[in-house]
Chains A and B, each alone.
Chain A
Amino acid sequence: MDIIPQLILNSIIAGAIYAMIALGFNLIYGTAKFFDLGYGALTAVGGYAVFYFYKTLGLDLYVSILLGVLIVGVIGFIVYKLVYSPLRKRKSSGMVLLVAALGVLTALQAIIAILFTSQFQTLSQNSSSEQVFNILGGAITQTQLVTLIIGFVIMIVIGLVFRYTLFGKAVKAIGDDEEVSKIVGVNTENIIGWVFFIGSAIGGLAGILIGFDTGIEPTMGLSLLLKGVIACIIGGIGNVYGGVLGAFLLAFIENFGIWHISGEWKDAIAFAVLILFLLFRPHGILRK
């Protein structure tokens, strides 16, 4: 097996996951304008919800996934209502919201660890029987292919919703100027609540797909989330396509960066890229 095709495929697979995280995060950041780090823990919530329904209760695969995504959405919505919404009403600074989000992240991760232990778990029943496709000399599993497709579908759907529906226009309006949207009669509180629901659900779905591909652990969220944030920033924060572009770019840099060195350096490479972008191109590749 050649190394270069496999590196390219690995980059695309990682890019698809980062892209989904970035899509959900971008949606939330674009409307609510703060770094919702609690979103990281929601990916793990998604993974563990499916673990519970599918493995422990033995429900049907698709029912479990649907329930998992719904639960993550609802939890994202509840967290917004309980924590972020009151803070935003008080016009708290971005730093207060960031610290509160750190608290949410820490608490959610630990609650998952108490309920399900902090062991590494996998969602797929028997990974050895999974179908593996060979493309141009590299291997890609069925789950990874599904992840890639779902990532693109979500990107296209969000793009279309933003462009053609009233809801999408309202979301964009809030992102541009929340006060003015209120004045022209947009129910901002309601819309932002929905944005949190949808954004969290996308993050949860990403967590579920990771669970089927490799596995889940309670602390998986933070590093995933940070990758999503980096992807958004290098692609152009608040821009749907920018986040996806950034995600794939980041994945390629990471995977080719570790060609000759140990894989443990991946996170350091990602953050080095972030800092370089923040220094030299803070608005990312695509402007909003």
Chain B
Amino acid sequence: MEYIIHISILISIYAILGLSLNLVVGFTGLLSVTQAAFYGIGAYVTAILLTSTGMNFFLALIIGMAITGVCSLAIGFVLSKFKDDYYALGSFGFNVIIYSIFLNWQSLTRGPLGIPGIPRPSLFGFTFSENVWFLALSIVLLILVYFICRFITGSSFGRVLKSIREDEGAISAFGYRTLWYKLAIFVISAMMASIAGSLFASYITFIDPSSFVLSESIFILAIIILGGLANNKGAVIGAACLILLPEILRFVGFPDDIAAQMRQVVYGVILVALMLYRPQGLIGEYRL
């Protein structure tokens, strides 16, 4: 039972990440591969505030979102100058740079040693120390993020995003300043990733830079490509599939380290196969 709860918590965290990235990649058509950086900023801000000041988790979560928002605004501004392949390459760059900062700003992040002993969240004297309660918290946040995404994508703002994806020139000819729309969605998406980061930090109670490497961003991208681009349900389904998959491999009887690599092989093959046979993913509404 404890095991199922653990898996469910991971699925909710990655579903939040998938939902957030889908806003940028699926709905706006910008191939961003830097989500793990924002996920990491959220996690680190929460971890540092909780361990050094003993602040309330929910306050730390909001401060984390604010700091991530500021960082993503700067990054999004630079990235907005690029197009297509170069956008992806530039976003790789920011992921590597932020990762290097986690690794090297040792006075703040303790570098490769990581930050241990992050407390679980508590609210009005109630601590979410039991995993069941933590799962409830993550699901509440996931539902919140899901409905915000649904609201955004269903609104007129969301329709402008989709038209940027389809034909940026045309929509700007109608007088929309596409730069502001792209920046806004990039920042919103980064702040959602930061929520996932805060949850992750306080769930695992330990973070180090290796959780926020470039391949983590690629994994998040794989989630939404599998689930389906530009579909909010797709992001959740994709997260569930890609988290459950290695667990199934483990049950089949592979040893742990082989199972970890098998997971990589399988999701690499899934990416290739999807691009070849079903570029819109399981239930996607947009193909790259």
Residues of chain A touching chain B, judged by Cβ–Cβ distance below 8 Å, are 34-35, 83, 86-87, 92-100, 102-111, 113-114, 117-118, 222, 226, 229, 233, 262, 264-265, 267-268, 271-272, 274-275, 278-279, 282
Contact = CB atoms under 8 A, between A and B. Distances in A.
B132 interface: no
13 contacts: A35-B85, A87-B275, A94-B85, A99-B221, A102-B218, A107-B272, A108-B268, A111-B261, A114-B265, A265-B100, A267-B97, A268-B101, A279-B78
Given A94-B85, A271-B97, A275-B90, A104 B103 contact: no
A87 B276 contact: yes
A35 B89 CA distance: 9
B78 A275 contact: yes
A103 B279 CA distance: 13
Contact of B258 (A114, A222, A274, A282): A114
B241 to A, nearest CB: 15
B92 to A, nearest CB: 7
A114 B261 contact: yes
Nearest to B85: A94
Interface string B257-288: 11001111101111111011001000000011
B178 interface: no
Nearest to B33: A102
Question: Considering residues B97, B222, B225, B258, which has the most beta carbons from chain A within 10 angstroms of its beta carbon?
Answer: B97
Interface of B: 31, 78, 81-82, 84-86, 88-90, 92-94, 96-97, 100-101, 103-104, 214-215, 218, 221-222, 225, 257-258, 261-265, 267-273, 275-276, 279, 287-288
Given A87-B276, A106-B215, A267-B100, A278 B86 contact: yes
Contacts of A106: 215, 218, 264-265, 267-268, 271
A265 B104 contact: yes
A104 to B, nearest CB: 6
A118 B256 CA distance: 13
A268 B97 contact: yes
B97 A94 contact: no
Contact of A95 (B78, B88, B271): B88
Contacts of A102: 218, 221, 268, 271
Given A87-B276, A92-B279, 14 more contacts: A87-B275, A96-B288, A99-B31, A99-B225, A100-B271, A103-B269, A107-B268, A108-B268, A110-B261, A110-B262, A113-B261, A118-B261, A271-B97, A278-B82
A271 B268 contact: no
A35 B91 CA distance: 14
B24 to A, nearest CB: 13
Nearest to B98: A268
Q: Which 4 A-B pairs have the closest CB atoms?
A: A107-B268, A103-B271, A110-B264, A106-B268
Question: Considering residues B31, B93, B269, B273, which has the most beta carbons from chain A within 10 angstroms of its beta carbon?
Answer: B93
A233 B90 CA distance: 12
Contacts of B276: 83, 86-87, 100
B262 A99 contact: no
A110 B265 contact: yes
A98 B85 contact: yes
Contacts of B279: 92, 96
Contacts of B78: 275, 279
Contacts of B88: 35, 95, 98
Contacts of B82: 278
Nearest to B263: A110
Contacts of B225: 99
A34 B263 CA distance: 26
A95 B31 contact: yes
Given A99-B288, A100-B275, A278 B90 contact: yes
B268 A103 contact: yes
A95 B288 contact: yes
Contacts of A96: 275, 279, 287-288
Nearest to A268: B100
A223 to B, nearest CB: 8
A94 B265 contact: no
